[in-house]
Structure 1
Amino acid sequence: MNEPSDKVDLLSKYRLEISVELRPFLNSAITRIGYLFPAAQINPRESHLDIALPAQIDFESLKKQLLYTIYREKIREEGKDSRQALSVAVFGR
Structure 2
Amino acid sequence: MRTARILLLCILGYAALSSVTCNNGIGPDDCCFTPYPRRLNKNLIGSYYLTDHRCPKSAAILVTKKGRYICVDPSLSWVMNIMKHVDESSF
TM-score normalized with structure 1 length = 0.29
TM-score normalized with structure 2 length = 0.29
Where relative contact order (Cα < 8 A, 6+ residues apart) is larger, the structure is 1
The structure number with the bigger radius of gyration is 2
